[in-house]
Amino acid sequence: MTEHVLIERRGAVQVIRMNRPEKKNAITSAMYAAMARALTDGDADPGVHCHVFLGVPGAFSAGNDLADFLAVATGGENSTDVWDFLIALASAAKPIISGVDGIAVGIGTTLNLHCDLTFATSRTVFRTPFVDLGLVPEAGSSLLVPKLMGRQRAFALLCLGEGFSATMAKDAGLIYEVVDEADLEAKVFAAAEQVAAKPVQALKISRDLLRGSPEEIVNRIREEGAHFRERLTSEEAHAALTAFMSRKKA
């Protein structure tokens, strides 16, 4: 479907790797569609016990492709791929582990809210500049982040767009462990294999109990989505997106 997402099976672990290094793993519609499909296919496959999300060295993801956002801001069609992906992510039936190195912007941060374990390298910075782009939080983050880290840190992350180092992210409960760059993937795969080896039904019931019903999160994703789509056509968003896309020409 797209060469920018690589899907690999390692035993009972499905690895979903964002692979668009030349754009710091900015995510296009085709990439969202490929990742949503991987989650639903993996959930339907009894041979898959666990999903893993990875990026490339130095870039987990620079967030949504801003050229795609600008296209919508200037009257183009608003694809549903991102929202379909977010709903597949929030509703995924099997455990998800992520390994984050370097850039983790926008959805590169909020994706991890739906993971059961996240490992991040010490050079990782989590950042969500939604408001600076004239936009609003997505992926259920307006619900999940205040619950996770309290209103004040949530405001700093989601509204001020403050960068959170890996250590701050760990203190805030956003990630599980800070690891060395050289160890990241080995740690992620070891954890995934540990998860994949657990009794499947007992783990599923336990995880479902921990997470609660995805319905509240899915409803929030839809509510955020309505604001987000409206904001994409705002003057604030148009100005911010145009400034980013033309910054190197100046």
Binding site for ligand COA (CB under 6 A): 23-24, 26, 62-67, 103, 105-106, 129-130, 133, 248
* Residue 145, SS3 per DSSP: helix
For residues 91 and 43, give the distance between their C-alpha atoms in angstroms, rounded to a whole number.
Answer: 10
Between 2 and 40, CB nearer to ligand COA: 2
What are residue 16's DSSP bridge partners?
7, 53
31 vs 48 by CB, closer to ligand COA: 31
Kindly tell me the sign of the dihedral angle through the C-alpha atoms of 178, 181, 185, 186. Answer: negative
Collapsing DSSP to helix, strand or coil, 45 comes out as coil
From the list 243, 28, 9, 239, the residue with the least C-alpha distance to 134 is: 239
Query: In the bound complex, what is the minimum distance in angstroms from residue 160's beta carbon to ligand COA?
Result: 14
Nearest CB to ligand COA, comparing residues 71 and 200: 71
Least CB distance to ligand COA at residue 70 (A)? 9
Residue with the CB atom nearest ligand COA in the bound state: 106
Q: What is the CA radius of gyration of the chain?
A: 17
Structure token digits, residue 70: 């600008």
Closest among 142, 38, 49 to 88, alpha carbons compared: 38
Q: Which CA distances in Å does 162 have to 66, 69, 139, 165, 245? A: 19, 22, 18, 10, 21
Q: 26 vs 36, which CB is nearer to ligand COA? A: 26
CB closer to ligand COA, 203 vs 221: 221
Q: Smallest gap, in angstroms, from Cβ of residue 189 to ligand COA?
A: 26
Q: Could you tell me the smallest distance in angstroms from the CB atom of residue 51 to ligand COA? A: 23
Shortest separation between residue 85's beta carbon and ligand COA, angstroms? 14
| Nearer CB in complex with ligand COA: 206/234 | 234
At its nearest, how many Å lie between ligand COA and the CB of residue 173? 22
